[in-house]
Amino acid sequence: MLNSRETYRVLSEQLETARQVHTIDRVETIIKPIPDSDVSGDLDPRVLAVIQGYAASEPETSFDLASARASMGWPNQDMTTTDITTNHVMIPSADGDIPARLYRPRTEETLPAILFFHGGGFFGGTLDTVENPCKLLAEKANALVVSVDYRLAPEHPFPAGLNDCFRAVEWVYDQADELNVRNERIAVAGDSAGGNLATACCLLDRAKQLNRINYQALVYPVVNLGSIPTDDYEWKLDDYEIKHHHDLIRGVVMALGDSDGLLNHVYLQGKAELTDPLVSPLFADDVTGLPPALIITAEYDYLRLEGEAYAHKLARDGVPTRLIQYRGMDHAFMDKLGDYPQAEDCMIEIANGMKEMTR
């Protein structure tokens, strides 16, 4: 009889090889099945258990910033098997120094660098939540990972957080010798709002003709802040295959639907339009020349459809793009490293993609 840790390891190993690969509109599309279930149209059993636990608790009746921030994240686990050092730094900036954490494998070799931007709807999230995923990414990619504590709304509306993230990219590039990293191997990555910031940094990098970013990994990214229909995108619940736990799954999918424009109110505060490409990258007129992209989505995530649309947009404009969908997963599964084997596999895929696309 396997214990829970052994079961987790077996399922993680299965995810590394279990996949359905298709090329759809020039996008290499990989479907990762639930590793211990052949049932379609349902949640992963681990997700189901967590969601049922949430459903049994008292629901929130209105948005409260402090409560929303406190509810973010998950007590995830350190899954590294080697020694990863952690250093706290302050990145100098004209707008105020930016806290960051550096995660580095113990090696003397010059490494690639990955800047990681945490999720949290542009108003929440912390470096603590993504510490263990970043440490695992540093190990698997054999890279320096720089986790950036960018400024949050509503105290600091757009574009403050984006400016911090881009300043961090500049700092890593300029300090490459001191950091012992290869300035021709710099990547950006992030989950949810962090995925938005990562690809917006790529748009800024191209607009400034700097070409400092060589790879982007976007985990269930926000790329259409207002869920506005485009030629590539129209959100429909019918696009989700739901065969079991119908009401529960519909609630899971709809949980991130921003029908009252909360993020617009909190993040933008009238400082930009919802269709500004740096707010909603799906509205960029031209994404030619952006770095190779990996986009990771969860089957039962409201943001899945816009992530898929962005993958097709990138590929259509000649950007090498890989799309991975994890069946049975919901939003924020990456946070549950050590509980969901998909979270670990996600970091492995980012590491593998960087090695493939930037060599």
What value does the mean pLDDT of the chain take? 94
Separation in Å, CA 313 to CA 229, 317, 325: 14, 6, 17
Query: Kind of pairing, strands 144-148 and 98-105?
Result: antiparallel
Helix (H, G, I), strand (E, B) or coil at 252: helix
C-alpha–C-alpha distance, residues 124 and 134, integer Å: 18
Give the pLDDT of residue 5: 85
Choose among 122, 285, 310: nearest CA to 199. 310
Choose among 174, 223, 173, 171: nearest CA to 197. 223
Tally of CB atoms within 10 A around 314: 28
Give the pLDDT of residue 25: 83
Give the pLDDT of residue 62: 75
pLDDT band at 2 (very low <50, low <70, confident <90, very high): low
| Catalytic residue chosen out of the listed positions 147, 192, 227, 280 | 192
Tally of CB atoms within 10 A around 357: 19
Burial of 70 (0-12, 13-18, 19+ CB in 10 A): exposed
DSSP one-letter string for 311-325: HHHHHHTT--EEEEE
- The per-type count for the chain, helices as H runs and strands as E runs, is 11, 10
Tell me: pLDDT of 58 over 60: no
Compute the half-sphere exposure of residue 170: CA atoms within 13 Å on the CB side of its CA. Answer: 16
pLDDT band at 56 (very low <50, low <70, confident <90, very high): low
Tokens standing for residue 338? 């050590």
pLDDT band at 251 (very low <50, low <70, confident <90, very high): very high
Query: Average pLDDT for residues 181-190, to the nearest whole number?
Result: 97
Give the pLDDT of residue 195: 98
Tell me: pLDDT of 175 over 60: yes
All domains of the chain in start order, with CATH: 4-57+79-357 (3.40.50.1820)
Contact 30, 323 (CB under 8 A): yes
User: Between 114 and 16, where is the model more confident?
Assistant: 114
Tell me: pLDDT of 358 over 80: no
Query: How do the residues of the chain divide into helix, strand and coil, expressed in percent and rounded to 5?
Result: 35, 20, 45
Give the pLDDT of residue 308: 97
Give the pLDDT of residue 359: 62
Give the pLDDT of residue 87: 98
Q: In the chain, what is the straight-line distance between the N-terminal and C-terminal CA atoms, in Å?
A: 42
Please write the tens of the pLDDT for every residue from 208-235.
Answer: 999 999 999 999 999 999 999 998 899 9
Active site residue 40: no
User: Between 237 and 24, where is the model more confident?
Assistant: 237
Percentage of the chain exceeding pLDDT 70: 96
Tokens standing for residue 268? 């933008």
Please write the tens of the pLDDT for every residue from 254-276.
Answer: 999 987 788 899 999 999 999 99
Tell me: pLDDT of 340 over 80: yes
Tell me: pLDDT of 55 over 80: no
CA 230, distance to chain mean position in Å, is 22
Give the pLDDT of residue 26: 87
Tell me: pLDDT of 355 over 90: no
The answer for residues whose C-beta is within 8 angstroms of residue 118's C-beta and 6 or more apart is 125, 126, 127, 129, 130, 147, 148, 190, 191, 194
Query: Average pLDDT for residues 198-207, to the nearest whole number?
Result: 98
Tokens standing for residue 306? 């816009």
Separation in Å, CA 77 to CA 81, 121, 129, 227: 12, 23, 10, 33
Tell me: pLDDT of 40 over 70: yes
Query: Average pLDDT for residues 93-100, to the nearest whole number?
Result: 97
Tell me: pLDDT of 357 over 80: no
Tally of CB atoms within 10 A around 19: 12
Please write the tens of the pLDDT for every residue from 80-89.
Answer: 999 999 999 9
DSSP class of residue 268 equals: I
The answer for residues whose C-beta is within 8 angstroms of residue 200's C-beta and 6 or more apart is 162, 165, 277, 278, 279, 281
User: Between 202 and 57, where is the model more confident?
Assistant: 202
Tell me: pLDDT of 145 over 60: yes
Which residues on adjacent β-strands are paired with residue 233?
Answer: none
pLDDT band at 1 (very low <50, low <70, confident <90, very high): very low
Contact 281, 310 (CB under 8 A): yes
Please write the tens of the pLDDT for every residue from 13-23.
Answer: 999 888 899 99
Query: Kind of pairing, strands 293-300 and 181-191?
Result: unpaired
